[in-house]
Structure 1
Amino acid sequence: MDLLSCNWDNAKFLIFSDNVFDPLIYYSHLGPLLLSVALLLLIFFSNKKDLSNKILIFLLASFCLWSLSDLILWATEKPQYVMFSWSVMIFLDLFMYAAAFYFMYVFIYRKDLPFFGKALIGLLFVPLLILVSTKYNLNFFDLTNCEREAKEGILWGYTYLIEVFFAFLILVGAVIGFLKSEEKKIRKEIVLITSGMILFLVAFSWGNIAGSITEDWSVGQYGLFGIPIFIGFLSYSIVKYQTLNIRVLAVQGFIGAIAILMGAQFFFIRTNLNRVLTAITLFIIFIFGVMLIRSVKKEIQQKEELEIANKEIHKRNAKLKIANAEIQKRNAKLKLAHKEISQRKEELQLITDRLAESNDKLRQLDNAKTEFISMASHQLRTPVTGIKGYVDMLIEGSYGPLTPDQLDAIKKTYTCNERMVALIEDLLNASKIESGRMEYEFANCHIEEICQEVVDTLVNKARDKNLYLDYKKPTTPLPELCIDGKKVREVISNLVDNAVKYTEKGGVTLKIEKNGNTVRIAVSDTGIGIPKEEMPYLFTKFSRGKDVKRLSVSGTGLGLYVGKNMIEGNGGKIWVESEGAGKGSKFIVELEVGRKTHYKL
């Protein structure tokens, strides 16, 4: 057959030509197409992130492409365009039904389709991918007449069966979801959306299947009116129940957009019949939109107010229940606590009685210990004093000259004996402090003279270690202090001696100055310093710094404890300052000027 003899019109923009002989074709295609585009845009700009909305957008997009492809079949004069569009439509058919099933599953069950279900849907597309370019899809293009038809293969029958299968699954899933749901609102939504979706799928399948069987494809165009039915059900559900999380205001815009798009058809409609049908459609859309929104808007407002009030009531009830439960728990806890407190009181009374007995025993033991230390120290002092006297006589040559080795040994003995004397003195003083028997003999003393005696005594010890020992006294005489000179001398001597012992390089400075109503004696050194964490414990019994072991310096840890008590007994204060380990230290003694105590304490 000569294709030129058919007198086919050349299609403009692929879809406009005189080849479309039935005036209803444009109306049946462009009307649902524009409705779908309007709904697609509404969903996209309202809530495109929701999964069910994404699937519905895909479904509407597939329908729009299908409608355009079908219009190309009607309008084009080129057989290759017909064959290509017909091949694309088989995929779009299955896309719409698969998307409809996926959408209904997510909408009804409020969750995503399991991976197994997605994989099964994917497998249904495998035969199409394999056979789309074979005779099982399209047998041939009929050139025996001028109807521009392609002959469908058995693959289309497979597609129609799958479509019916998906529609059946949607119906079954909706019934199950309806029965499982306990909320009336969700049940009504399921009924509305399922009804609209089933009517759309049935109408669409009927049009395609009827066209394939009768080969009268003008019948198939009526199946496209299923999408406006679905959109109508969906719009009512959106206005009534805020389905897809789209508000009434958005639906108003949607209806307005539909009216504008439908009115745009007047620019390319060629027949009076289509103009009349489009005008009637616009009128129906207007009436439907106004009635729908007016009838439901007030109800929606009341419903929202009621929901807010109900939520607030539920929240308050829940809070009251929680508060009541909490009060009951607290009452039970209080009863239990009261019982425990009563038991604890009895237990504490027993413990208190036992502690009182233990304290009495400890006090007796402590007194016995103090008495023992005091007695032992007194007993030790006599032989140690005798040793010191004999050693002094040996060093002075009272028993004849000594060889250098003998003299060195005697001096070392003297040093060890002096340490023993200091230890005994510290033990005696600590014992007196703890037992409250420390005696003070106050008299007016010149503190400069006491410090000078200390420096004269220890200067040689500093020189032996290659250290300086500076004494800085004020240029003007200081007033006399009413103190126990012997004990203050003992404290200052101990501070200077410690400074010499704990300094490896540099030296020690003893400084006296008047500071308001007090006289301040400061012993500074360039020695090992004192870490901040050790300072609070420095004046406690048996406390020694961590770095003293490195210097191999002997000591009992009682000197500063005894010194602090002696200075406080003289009405003064003593403290230490140091920037840290390795940065030296400064011990400061403050004694009050003008004290009038002249008695033995």
Structure 2
Amino acid sequence: MNLFYTSSIALSLMSFLLGLIVYLKDRKNNLGKQWFVLSTFISGWAILLYLVASSPRAGDALNWQYLLDIVALGIPVAYFNFVVAFLGLKVRAQVWIFGAVSAMLSILSTTTFFKVGVIQKFGFYWINPGEYYFVFPLFFLVIVTYSLFLLIRAYMTEPRGSILRSQIIYQLIAGAIGFSGGATNFLPQLFNIFPFGNYFVIIYIFFVSYSILKYQLFNLKLILAELAILLLNLFLIVNIFTSHAKFDLMLNVSVFTFIFAFSIILLRGIYKDIRDRERIEGLVKEMEVANERLRAMEQQKTEFVSIASHQLRTPLTVIKGYASMILEGTFGAINDVARDALENLFKSSEKIVALVDDLLTVSRIEQGRMMLNFETINLKGLVQKVLTEMQGEIDEAKINLSFSAEDEEDFFVAVDEKKFKQVVHHILDNAIKYTPQHGSVRVTIVDDAITNNVRLIVSDTGEGMNEEQITAIFERFNLKNEQAEYSENQARQDFDAQNLGGQAEKGTHGIGLYIAQEIISAHHGKLSIESDGKDMGTSVTVEIPRAYSPKISKV
């Protein structure tokens, strides 16, 4: 058997087996179906080419040639269908037209218009062409060229670096080499040249296989494993039927039985791995969808909080205003019982207004809409102002609060005064609420000449925190004492009940330090918390770059 015969048989087997395995892997995949159809046509063309070339009689060669031409006419149509499926095009009319022309030429190929008979050339039987035989290669050329044009057009429109663009490159190279080689089969009958390019069709199969492997057009790793196992078993079957001695037959049957059983176990393991991988990929996609939904819900929640907070602001301001006016005697004198109730109403409305302001701040932070109006101020004066405003809370909590800063020194910082005042208020509010009666809170401002920062340090002798609480405290809506025992808060329940519920109020709504950290970060500062543990107190440090001149700068 010469090289031409061997290459034809090898091409036939490789094409059919590769196409069949791809199809069996996913029968619902249209691209796999079209690849199987194309591979089958190429396989049929290759084996019929072998039968024509190896026929000892002209009559047999002619009969095989009739079948060869019919199958060969289907190759360009099958290739066009494969390209259409590969690119996802909707050109059903063109598919039907090309199919109809192929069928018509198949009928004509059996007449003398197409071929007169066969003659011997280069030691093989080849077509003796008829008057209109040129239509065959012309049809072949038109469809293949048009298919390559579709690939080139898709390549030009695809963005650089896309997977499809890389797949198209390999399809173009494979198509150009493979069909150029196949087209040389027209040379003996037209130009009396040996079909040297027939071997190039094998390169087409390898190129497509490589594109499958590299860019996962199909799952070629599984395909190659199945193909190797199938070829091994076929080889063993051939050995059984070609055995001459009884011992060889028994040995070959035993080996085949063992290898066949092992092949089944191996393939089952491969299929299981594939299923597991596909399940994991499915879970990953579901998680991506779920995360996208969560992001959308988070955005909706942020928008809702913003809208709701704006809507609450006006009526709360009215409630607070009227309560203040009544307490001041604007509408006449009131008795002590009514005054106590109104004072609680006023304090509660103040807390709710503060909560609404905090929620609005959180909403602006999350939406990236927090605007800062920087100006150079004396931090000492700002802290003293906040302490004065909070004196009522300090007296009510019955704690000892001390403030220290060098009298002769100013601590200028460039900040948004309103928002930084909010930061100082949240930090002091936390220290006061978590410090028991007769405990102490120490507020200190120092100038760090080494780092050129101004430090605000608030230390208390309160409940303290463990490392887990310190890590979690900067999260939104996290309450510092959410893991505390119920009994520890029992003593404050009556007081807390008068102030809109103890746990949330005590924990400053769980967003105070989150807001403080975000605002300080926007000021290029740093917020840190230290605590030696439960009942060991807490120290909060704020560092802000120092400003040397009280110049106003707005951004």
Q: Please report the TM-score for the alignment, with normalisation by the length of structure 2.
A: 0.45
Q: How high is the TM-score relative to the length of structure 1?
A: 0.42
